[in-house]
Amino acid sequence: MIYLMLDNREEKYDRILAEHIVSLFSSEEEKMEDESTTYSKQFISQYITYARKFIRPKITGGVIDIMIKEYVEMRQKGNVTKTITATPRQLESIIRLSEAHARMRLSDIVEEEDVIESIRLIKVATQ
């Protein structure tokens, strides 16, 4: 398979990406000043362990409709450009990311905000 990757220039996103990359290489002291809240490594580890062990988010009717609608819209965009814009794999990704987002909030229910964020992530990743 051959994939064509386009690198579209857009100043806003180029600046955001550049700031992020530069921040990865900046000193630890500067990073600590920028963050308002810091958590210990132990706390984060316990939080993740708890979420993995006890939180199993369920997908309910309202968000199912949003997922299906977005997936169908992504597929339809491919009809216009004659390219494959979404496959069932992207739908599965939306589902998994929505569940993960709900799990991060320690929620047993996948809510609309989780689905919206997962769709945003998929769209950004495929731009």
Local confidence band at 23 (pLDDT 50, 70, 90 cut-offs): confident
Query: If you write DSSP's letter for every residue of 49-107 in order, what string do you get?
Result: HHHHHH--PEE-HHHHHHHHHHHHHHHHHHHHHTS----HHHHHHHHHHHHHHHHHTT-
**pLDDT tens per residue across span 54-113:** 999 999 888 999 999 998 888 887 767 667 677 888 889 999 999 999 999 999 999 999
Local confidence band at 16 (pLDDT 50, 70, 90 cut-offs): confident
Residue 103: its pLDDT value, please? 96
- In 3D space, the residue among 70, 81, 51 whose CA is nearest the CA of residue 121 turns out to be 70
Euclidean distance between CA atoms 39 and 125, whole angstroms: 28
Residue 35: its pLDDT value, please? 56
Tokens describing residue 66: 């949003």
- Work out the number of other CB atoms within 10 angstroms of the CB of residue 102: 26
Classified as helix, coil or strand, 110 is strand
Better-scored residue on pLDDT, 68 or 21: 68
